[in-house]
Chains A and B, each alone.
Chain A
């Protein structure tokens, strides 16, 4: 274990320098991981050719999202439908919400930004266009951007996210430009339900409303999905879970999209704070609780692979999921940067990331092997503070989110994340925020952090959540399984009694950054 602790510390130091270094311990760990390196670890039930395409895509592979970054360029401001959960006018600087951007770019500005980010963040592997409107309602700008990027940075994967209304008209262009992945937001397959979500669409030069609008939209979405599947273009489906409107219906949607070839389904909670000014927000339509969301995702899980690590990013997000570095890449700054696109440097960096990943997978496998033979009906949730690389490497007070893992005798499974307001403000903790954080992880038995202050520590213990800091800078899954084994031991010995925990709240307001 010491070797891993040592290696973890090295990784942290290297990450802080913006570079990854290789230490003797690191090489040793990587070597021990050779058995699984290049194997199907993390692949699950995905076919090999699909896994190859997605294994380094942070939005598609839960494991990749610890290691690889993505960026969105906001070149597509116009939209062709209106959704009751969307308002693109409001922009809070630290908000993660689709449709929100601080500045719009021309395709030429976008390419420069992509090259600047790819040079500064070599683990950036994916460029997405996701609005702030609909990429396919802005086909000229969207495809021009993709063309320019493909020419200047051929190793970057291209993807786009659309509402699907214009999708069937653009399939040939999508195929010609070798766009790797498409995401379609499908919230219903029943026009009556659709009429409650979409006030109008603009199609064939006409505005349609009500059930007519929803019928056209669902027909076009499903037709587009089928056309993508026929051409072998990978397609993920996003759905927004809106309690009492489409929550039960999403099981139906899940079946419909699976049968038409979608390979991943991402059910996201409705974001509807009144201050966002959306129709749902103003009407008081609530979003789901953490347990409601998990129950629906679990109910759909048997049908189609579910995505649970979505951060509902802004349309101009940059960096790892859950971390936003877009402030470093405003147009002014990008224009000043000396951009030298170095494909070899990027490849070398990504190879080191792959070694890191393999070591992580191997460590978790070893820990799981230790637990084999243990039988217990107990499953529980734990929260983890992390800055990426699959390590427990964030202070409690600095965490902008907690990643949630479900632990059982079969191992540690990532089930989602909880956004929180940063507790520590210039060295002092804020009481209100602490109670909000505790509401956000109230269903967890423990929280793993690299460090925690005395005050939040005692408050967490009082609330029945164990603060665990002895695995600082170690791998998340391996540590979580090790902790779970000692938990089961204590239960067996009668030292502690296992109790179920109650539900948690999903944070709805805009995010407030650390001062």
Chain B
């Protein structure tokens, strides 16, 4: 699932922006936003989503549960887990 930034908590520090491997983050109206279509949760690039790892305010870069699951990326994230699940 793509990540989103809770704008009321965002301090607009810009730590996340240059770290996003998909260039999905930009500034809008004094806070930063993630373009859902571009977000891959950093799968294939890094162990953890870079925006959430770098954000100085906890629980500000979070999974956007309102949007449909990003299938391609999630399948790649942990192939072993998927395999284990399908076995059970």
Residues of A within 8 A of B (CB): 77-80, 82, 88-89, 104, 132-133, 137-138, 140, 202, 205-207
Knowing A205-B46, A205-B50 are in contact, say whether A79-B56 is a contact too (CB < 8 A): yes
Binds A, one of B9-17, B62-70, B75-83: B9-17
Nearest Cβ distance between residue B40 and chain A, in whole angstroms? 15
Nearest Cβ distance between residue A123 and chain B, in whole angstroms? 32
Pair B15/A207 contact, Cβ less than 8 Å: no
Q: In the complex, A206 Cα to B18 Cα: how many Å? A: 14
**7 additional contacts, CB 8 Å, given A79-B15, A133-B13, A202-B53?**
A77-B13, A77-B14, A78-B14, A78-B15, A79-B13, A80-B15, A205-B50
Q: In the complex, A414 Cα to B54 Cα: how many Å? A: 41
User: Which residues of chain B are near A80, meaning CB under 8 Å?
Assistant: 15, 54
Pair A89/B11 contact, Cβ less than 8 Å: yes
User: Which residues of chain B are near A202, meaning CB under 8 Å?
Assistant: 15, 53-54
Kindly report which residue of chain A lies nearest to residue B47, judged by CB atoms.
A206
Pair B50/A133 contact, Cβ less than 8 Å: no
**Can you pick out 22 interface pairs between chain A and chain B where the beta carbons lie within 8 Å of each other?**
A77-B11, A77-B12, A77-B13, A77-B14, A77-B15, A78-B15, A79-B15, A79-B56, A80-B54, A82-B56, A132-B13, A133-B13, A138-B14, A202-B15, A202-B54, A205-B46, A205-B47, A206-B46, A206-B47, A206-B48, A206-B53, A207-B54
Residues of B within 8 A of A (CB): 11-15, 18-19, 46-48, 50, 53-54, 56-57
Nearest Cβ distance between residue A206 and chain B, in whole angstroms? 7
Kindly report which residue of chain A lies nearest to residue B42, judged by CB atoms.
A205
Pair B19/A205 contact, Cβ less than 8 Å: yes
Kindly report which residue of chain A lies nearest to residue B11, judged by CB atoms.
A89
User: Which residues of chain B are near A82, meaning CB under 8 Å?
Assistant: 56
Q: In the complex, A133 Cα to B15 Cα: how many Å? A: 9
Q: In the complex, A79 Cα to B48 Cα: how many Å? A: 18
Pair B53/A88 contact, Cβ less than 8 Å: no
Q: In the complex, A132 Cα to B56 Cα: how many Å? A: 13
Pair A207/B53 contact, Cβ less than 8 Å: yes
Q: In the complex, A391 Cα to B27 Cα: how many Å? A: 48
Q: In the complex, A283 Cα to B80 Cα: how many Å? A: 42
Q: In the complex, A138 Cα to B19 Cα: how many Å? A: 11
User: Which residues of chain A are near B48, meaning CB under 8 Å?
Assistant: 206-207
Q: In the complex, A202 Cα to B19 Cα: how many Å? A: 11
Q: In the complex, A140 Cα to B18 Cα: how many Å? A: 10
Q: In the complex, A140 Cα to B19 Cα: how many Å? A: 13
Q: In the complex, A79 Cα to B47 Cα: how many Å? A: 20
